[in-house]
Amino acid sequence: MFRRTFLFSALPARVLFGAGTLSNLPNEIDELGVGRALVVCTPEQSDLGDTAARMIGDRCIGVFPGAIMHVPVETARQARVQAHDAGADCVVAIGGGSSIGLAKAIALEAGIQIVAIPTTYAGSEMTPIYGITENGTKKTGRDLRVLPRAVIYDPELTLSLPTSMSATSGMNAIAHCVEALYATNANPITSIMAEEGIRYLARALPRIVERPQDIDARAECLYGAWLAGSVLATTSVALHHKLCHTLGGMLNLPHAETHTVVLPHATAYNASAAAQAMGSIRHALESRDAAQGLFDLAARLDVPVALKALGVRFADLDRVADAAVAAPYPNPRPMERDAIRSLLEDAYWGRRPRAALSGA
Ligand code: NAD
């Protein structure tokens, strides 16, 4: 059914896509009209950070190779001090969601622009969403000041992403698309992008697992990740993201792996209340059932499909279910405590999503 009334927000980002486009980094900085760049990356990607710094030359005022998952406030403070003391007017974030997240934490306070060069499929580079972790709690928000103004998608930089991380990062991107399809503020444009994002990611991820150096598959995944980040940027998230945030926050689980395990089950839970979204997912996956298709995709990618394998204890399930329903996100189907506890138990054992839950 066509949604007759809707709001579509186009966000002001400039995107350069293609193999070898990292070499355009100096031009992108020129285009932004800035000239004092702090490069941020993780310790594991410090070589890449140094490469970016060399390309920028004397317009680079330093490298901060200390980005950590979920942006601890202490790390954000250190990076802000370095940016401030050196008079930075832009941050170049090269890496995954952790590096881009740190750049956002700097930009939020300093009001400076971000050039993002993503090397995973998490999608943060397209969103105005930030998160900072203090005393074990991640506070998130939306603010246009943290939206990267230039994004360079260079598939060559993803060739080094290990296959298991590629697979889970790609499933994380698919999760953004799935929830965008049944978001309360979905619209025809975001729905086209979300379905297309799932299609590209689901087709290319198995090829990456078989041939990690397949640059065409890498490009297609990165394109899917762009679409996924774009829809995450302007639509609301629901049950799936709620469960992942709750599990991640309470049990300190790995981000992309948690998304991979939970997604088929959250999709099954919502199936009976989001028929049109399920149709789009089925078409994109070329599968007879959305939730089963997502489960089969994860299994084919040879990544964990059980929360147990991520270190969750059975005894944790009750308090995760309680916490999730205590502060629910808007969701097509009401978040019912007992049904969510069942969903979590299926995810714990890595069972197939249940037909009863999927309403199939
Ligand atoms: P990540 O950035 O933490 O990267 C994981 C590891 O992989 C790091 O050690 C990193 O250095 C390494 N790595 C990254 N790219 C690589 C490559 N091409 N080759 C080899 N190693 C590489 O992981 P992520 O999944 O991209 O990001 C997760 C974080 O992003 C979470 O904190 C999540 O909450 C956040 N996130 C935020 C948004 C948003 O819109 N704000 C969206 C998605 C994710």
For the chain (length 360 residues), average pLDDT per consecutive 10? 81 94 97 96 98 97 96 96 97 98 97 96 97 86 96 98 98 98 96 98 98 98 98 96 93 94 98 97 98 98 97 97 94 97 98 67
Let me know whether 81 and 223 are in one domain.
Answer: no
Instruction: Determine contact, residues 172/299, Cβ cutoff 8 Å.
Output: no
pLDDT for residue 358: 44
Probe ligand 1: pick from 99, 119, 157, 230, max atoms within 8 Å of CB?
119
Whether residue 146 lies inside any domain: the answer is yes
Going from the Cα of 169 to the center of ligand 1, the distance in angstroms, rounded, reads 8
Let me know whether 213 and 318 are in one domain.
Answer: yes
- Residue that is last in its domain, among 158, 178, 197: 158
CA-42 nearest atom, ligand 1: 11
Instruction: Determine contact, residues 117/149, Cβ cutoff 8 Å.
Output: no
Let me know whether 28 and 104 are in one domain.
Answer: yes
Going from the Cα of 256 to the center of ligand 1, the distance in angstroms, rounded, reads 8
pLDDT for residue 360: 41
Let me know whether 142 and 239 are in one domain.
Answer: no
Going from the Cα of 119 to the center of ligand 1, the distance in angstroms, rounded, reads 8
Whether residue 8 lies inside any domain: the answer is no
Let me know whether 178 and 288 are in one domain.
Answer: yes
State the Cα angle at 298 between 292 and 299, rounded to 5°: 85
Rounded Cα–Cα distance for residues 180 and 355 (Å): 22
Going from the Cα of 163 to the center of ligand 1, the distance in angstroms, rounded, reads 14
Instruction: Determine contact, residues 62/36, Cβ cutoff 8 Å.
Output: no
List the one residue out of 63, 64, 43 whose CA is nearest residue 53: 63
Q: What does each C-alpha distance from 272 to 267, 275, 279, 334, 346 come to in angstroms? A: 10, 6, 11, 11, 18
Whether residue 1 lies inside any domain: the answer is no
Instruction: Determine contact, residues 38/83, Cβ cutoff 8 Å.
Output: yes
Q: pLDDT digits over 134-173, tens only?
A: 887 788 899 999 999 999 999 999 999 999 999 999 999 9
Instruction: Determine contact, residues 101/213, Cβ cutoff 8 Å.
Output: no
Let me know whether 132 and 224 are in one domain.
Answer: no
Q: Which residues, listed in sequence order, are joined to residue 117 by a DSSP beta bridge? A: 94
| Atom 7 (ligand 1) nearest CA | 96
Q: Which residues, listed in sequence order, are joined to residue 126 by a DSSP beta bridge? A: none
85 Cβ neighbours under 8 A, 6+ residues apart:
none
Query: Cα dihedral sign for 106, 108, 109, 113?
Result: positive
* CATH code where residue 262 lies: 1.20.1090.10
What phi and psi, each to the nearest 5 degrees, are found at residue 63? -120, 135
| Atom 22 (ligand 1) nearest CA | 161
pTM (two decimals): 0.95
| Atom 38 (ligand 1) nearest CA | 124
DSSP character for 128? -
Q: What does each C-alpha distance from 141 to 90, 102, 138, 173 come to in angstroms? A: 21, 14, 10, 19
- Residue that is last in its domain, among 108, 134, 158: 158
DSSP track, 305-336: --GGGGT--GGGHHHHHHHHHHSPPP-SS---
Contact residues of ligand 1, CB 6 A cut-off = 42, 44-45, 69-70, 95-99, 101, 119-120, 122-124, 127, 129, 131, 157-158, 160-161, 165, 169, 232, 255-256
Count structural domains, the chain.
2
List the one residue out of 80, 116, 81, 78 whose CA is nearest residue 98: 116
pLDDT for residue 355: 67
DSSP track, 255-312: HHHHHHHHHHHHHHHHGGG-HHHHHHHHHHHT-SSHHHHHHHHHHHTT----GGGGT-
Rounded Cα–Cα distance for residues 155 and 159 (Å): 7
48 lies in which domain range? 14-158
Let me know whether 88 and 213 are in one domain.
Answer: no
| Atom 17 (ligand 1) nearest CA | 161
Rounded Cα–Cα distance for residues 195 and 189 (Å): 10
Going from the Cα of 339 to the center of ligand 1, the distance in angstroms, rounded, reads 31
* CATH code where residue 116 lies: 3.40.50.1970
Probe ligand 1: pick from 50, 73, 102, 124, max atoms within 8 Å of CB?
124
pLDDT for residue 93: 98
Let me know whether 69 and 118 are in one domain.
Answer: yes
Q: Residues 72-87, buried b or exposed e (16+ Cβ, 10 A)?
A: beebbeebbebbeeee
Let me know whether 148 and 170 are in one domain.
Answer: no
Let me know whether 269 and 179 are in one domain.
Answer: yes
CA-232 nearest atom, ligand 1: 40
CA-99 nearest atom, ligand 1: 2
